Amino acid sequence: MTLLVAATERELCGLEGLVCGIGPVEAAAATARTLAQARPTALLHVGIAGGRGIAPPTLVLGSEAVYEDLSGDLGATMGRADRLEPDPGLLAAARAELREALVLPIGTTAKVGAGTLCRVEAMEGFAVLRAARLAGVPALELRAISNDPAERDRARWDFDGALAALAAAIPRLLSALE
């Protein structure tokens, strides 16, 4: 069984799964709690994201999750990892099924527009993948681009297009991962 995880109900696209909440703290806590209670064979984290120079509603598979709020010198000083790679088998299956998706690092930051290291920015990926790693559950992140993180006018963000792209991709990907 693959556990589907998203920050919001809308990002689950009508499918059964865990709504982990918005931001890295909520995502880590909810995911860890669920993984302690259930033992899925894999975890697929999905949602919308910002993309610098990437047109909505492009799909992106995470080649790594980068915790941008703890990157660089701060992370090294604290002795903490700020990057996680997805499970290689899940990524290979996803790439074979979603040939149209880009494969890029996805940055995690608690504040929209605060990322500087990755072209793709979201708020939960590193936290969800870290919880999965600690639980020994293979994990992968899939995002659909809805906006450029620098665009402050949320009326210009394409939530509907990104959610439609996710709704089309998630069943295909879940089928490929089972």
Angle at 121 between CA 10 and CA 149, to 5 degrees: 90
Fold of 2-177: Rossmann fold (3.40.50)
Least confident of 44-58, 59-73, 93-107: 59-73
Q: 10 Å Cβ neighbour count for 172?
A: 12
Task: Summarize the confidence of residues 113-127 as an average pLDDT.
Answer: 87
Q: 10 Å Cβ neighbour count for 6?
A: 26
Q: How confident is the model at residue 71 (pLDDT cuts 50, 70, 90)?
A: low
Q: How confident is the model at residue 114 (pLDDT cuts 50, 70, 90)?
A: low
Distances 135 to 109, 157, 167 between C-alpha atoms, Å: 22, 35, 27
Task: Summarize the confidence of residues 74-90 as an average pLDDT.
Answer: 72
Contact (CB, 8 A) for 62 and 121? no
Distance (Å, whole) CA 155 – CA 115: 21
User: For 135-178, what is each residue's pLDDT tens digit?
Assistant: 999 999 999 999 998 888 888 889 999 999 999 999 999 999 98
Which residues contact residue 129 at a Cβ distance below 8 angstroms, ignoring those fewer than 6 apart? 43, 45, 62, 65, 84, 86, 139, 141
Structure confidence at residue 103 (pLDDT): 98
